Copies of this chain bind each other. A is one copy, B any other.
Amino acid sequence: MSLKYAILGLLDQEPHYGYEIKQKFEHMMGDLWPVSYGQLYPTLRKLAEDDLVTMKTVQGKKAVEKNVYSITGTGSSFFSSWLLNQKKKVQISIKDEFTLSLFFLDRMDKYEAQDMLRTKLQELHEKQRKYADEYKLYTDNTPRYKKALTRKMLLHLDAEQKWIEELLQAL
């Protein structure tokens, strides 16, 4: 995924502390892009080691300490060049476990295979309903990016569904 770039992008606007980065990120992403502390804090440390960010411990309320991170000049230009390069690469990945499992579809008997694909279609429909409902609830206040993400999910769910329907017909 590269949480690294997400962090740099947030810090490129203003300094943040770790917990806050997780909150902000997940607020934007909903359940589509979770971040674990087990990845967040080591990544922040690594970024500091590489001099892309600096860390400063500040006193919060009473005895609570926060580690506030700021982006450095190096970090900022590193982020910018990454951002500019994104338009040049197409990185659609279709390497998932379900796709792999279809590799072995020939070994099932016809009805078992059909059942598998039909069950999958149902699961896809369910997900689709879920995200479509979520999408309808969005208002003008919903961040533009969150809407776009959900829309992307819906379009790719459509694609997956269409693919499986084609496979089912071919059986």
Contacts and interface: CB of A to CB of B under 8 A. Distances in A.
Interface of A: 1-2, 5-6, 9, 12-13, 28, 32-33, 82-83, 86-107, 115-117, 119-120, 123-124, 126-127, 144-145, 148-149, 151-153, 155-160, 162-163, 166-167, 170
5 contacts: A1-B95, A86-B97, A92-B156, A151-B163, A156-B160
B160 A92 contact: yes
A113 B169 CA distance: 41
A65 B99 CA distance: 33
Which of A88, A144, A159 counts the most B-chain CB atoms under 10 A from its CB?
A159
Contacts of A167: 148
Contact of A92 (B6, B90, B104, B153): B153
Contacts of A6: 100, 103
